[in-house]
Amino acid sequence: MTVLHLADAGEAADLGAFLARLVHYDRAAAGGRPAPGTTLAVFGRPPSFEVVAIRTARLAKPYEHGLDDTLDVTVSAGELLESVDETAATATVPGAVTGPPWAGVLPPRGGWRQEPGLPSPDAVRATVAAVVVEFRSRTGELAPELRTRAELDRLGREIWSRPLGGTTLPVRAAHAAQALGFLRPVAPTAPRAADDRRLPSGEGELGLYSSGAWLRLRTPFGSIAVRRAGLGALDISVH
């Protein structure tokens, strides 16, 4: 049994909140792997958005029972959430599950470079809100006989595949960030933890980066990555 000792109760609460949002869409799986230092990167793929969500957790010390920074496993997101103990600031890594196809195509560890054209945080949030309203309005206007799954999917692809601002990032990536709690405003006095120590440091609330076939929306609370060639349901990977 692998016990993760998180940095403090707040870190445990943040990890639990991320997992709870992820499980809202599907409790199937999550994945994790180590980032530099005592940091764990947790990955999930909410099927509704076709993105990879990344949330890091600061650890107080390395893994127990002889495990070191080679921990790389896919587990049940629901079971991992149930194991989080905020009082003790620990989480127990559940037994591994058969990894879904997306777990073998995770964003790269390095090589990220900043991309231009990303709107301001307020503009990104406003865009997501406006597109949500548009999607609900247009689906609501469909005649009952036309409100089929195929038509809803077609409409969704049309709306959510639009580029965000002057970037090639699809709006659905920003929508996923909002749904997972990554787009909330940063309190001026609140400590700001980097979402992933492998990304280049950057100023501001949001940043857009690219590496190979991947685009990544970075926020102080987590990242959303999109493979430009497409991703191909919810599992979690812990690294």
End-to-end CA distance of the chain: 16
- In terms of Cα–Cα distance, which of 67, 186, 169 is closest to 128? 169
Q: What is the pLDDT along the chain (239 residues), one digit of tens a residue?
A: 688 889 999 999 999 999 999 888 766 656 666 555 577 888 888 877 889 999 988 888 765 554 445 567 788 888 899 999 999 999 988 888 876 767 777 888 889 999 999 999 999 999 999 999 999 999 999 998 888 989 998 998 899 999 999 999 999 999 999 999 999 887 665 444 444 444 444 446 899 999 999 999 999 999 999 987 654 433 444 44
CA distance 215 to 168: 8
| β-strand pairing of 90-93 with 236-238 | unpaired
CA distance 48 to 46: 6
Rounded to two decimals, the pTM is: 0.82
